[in-house]
Amino acid sequence: MRQKVTIVGAGNVGATAAQRLAEKELADVVLIDIIEGVAQGKSLDLAQAAPIEKHDACLTGTGDYEESAGSDIVIITAGVPRKPGMSRDDLLAINRGIVKNVVRQAARYSPESVLIMVSNPLDAMCHVAMEESGFAKSRVIGMAGVLDSARFRAFIAAELDVSVENVHALVLGGHGDTMVPLPRFSTVAGVPITELMTPERIGELVARTRVGGTEIIELLKTGSAYYAPAAAVVEMAESILKDKKKILPCAAYLEGEYGIDGLFAGVPVKLGTAGIEQIITLKLTKDEQKMLHNSAASVRELVEAMKNMS
């Protein structure tokens, strides 16, 4: 029996993730969307590309969660983007309601699945997903660190004119401008970037990484990034589906690690069939620890704000 991945939300990130999963032949894909015809149309279009791309993954578009039954992974991209005039709390309330409903349905039909959250505000939505699903913390994971680290890697590779394959980088913390890129743990073919660039230039790349998503939004004028976010969530899914046990930075529920308790935050984890199989604890400097705690504090504010909502 082939593995199965359901993606809730057939927008740009969801549809692009479906395309990558199918073309890599990682699993059969069910695409779900609340807007009638969108998931069906995009799935049909992707299925018709299969003879050209030479894969046999089955793609199903639907508005019915029953089709998602027995999924190994459920990727949740559903939610609304922040619009002009919308406060942070408005966005939080709207997407909390959407995610609660989606997770309830997903958990009902795929009770053994791993949930990968993409909906924003991401770290807060992970809390909603874990609470609503009742899943163990190992099976609720947020996609942010892989994306943020990929942006940092791309900037480093361009700066040094080297292959992106040689570049490894690490970004911890929440998905936002308080994220914590770690130059000390970022290397090119094993050489720390602190040996290859000036502190000033590294600082500029760190700052650009923190606003990586905003930079794309400003260039596009309408819409936001989706190629890299989709690639990031598929890398996570592949490690789980193939039990590759990759070490990837993801939003994980911490219970004392890094001095953070009862909160989702971006840290390096080992991803395998069971979801998060291990949280990797790094020895951070005082400054790095302070930045990570500052990032966690921003996430905790959102979680506390949700508790005050009816």
Give the model confidence (pLDDT) of 103-124 as tens digits.
999 999 999 999 999 998 999 9
Q: How far apart are CA 250 and CA 273, in angstroms?
A: 15
CATH topology assigned to domain 4-142: Rossmann fold (3.40.50)
Which pLDDT score is estimated for 186? 97
Tokens encoding 132: 């609503």
Tokens encoding 307: 């508790």
Q: How far apart are CA 161 and CA 158, in angstroms?
A: 5
Q: How far apart are CA 246 and CA 255, in angstroms?
A: 22
Which pLDDT score is estimated for 1? 61
In single-letter form, the type of residue at position 190 comes to G
Q: How far apart are CA 86 and CA 104, in angstroms?
A: 26
DSSP conformation letters of the chain: ---EEEEE--SHHHHHHHHHHHHTT--EEEEE-SSTTHHHHHHHHHHHHHHHHT----EEEES-GGGGTT-SEEEE--S----TT--HHHHHHHHHHHHHHHHHHHHHH-TTPEEEE-SSSHHHHHHHHHHHH---GGGEEE--HHHHHHHHHHHHHHHHT--GGGEE--EES-SSTT-EE-GGG-EETTEEGGGTS-HHHHHHHHHHHHTHHHHHHHHHSSS---HHHHHHHHHHHHHHHTT--EEEEEEEEEESGGG-EEEEEEEEEEEETTEEEEEPPP---HHHHHHHHHHHHHHHHHHHHHHT--
Phi, psi for 266 (deg, rounded to 5): -75, 120
Q: 55, 168, 175, 293: which is the annotated catalytic residue?
A: 175
- The residues facing 7 across adjacent strands are 31, 75
Q: Following CA atoms 165, 23, 217, 115 in sequence, which dihedral angle do they give, to the nearest 10 degrees?
A: -90
Segment-wise mean pLDDT, segments of 10 residues, the chain, 310 residues: 93 98 98 97 98 98 98 96 72 93 98 96 95 98 96 98 97 90 96 97 97 92 93 98 98 97 97 98 96 94 86
Instruction: Domain ranges for the chain, please list them.
Output: 4-142, 145-307
Which pLDDT score is estimated for 85? 72
- 145-307 matches 4-142 in CATH topology: no
Which pLDDT score is estimated for 310? 60
Residue 175 designated active-site: yes
CATH 3.90.190.20 fits 145-307, yes or no: no
Exposure string over 231-258, b if 16+ CB within 10 A, otherwise e: ebbbbbbbbbbeeeebebbbbbbbeeeb
> Could you tell me if 119 and 95 are in contact, meaning their C-beta atoms sit under 8 angstroms apart?
yes
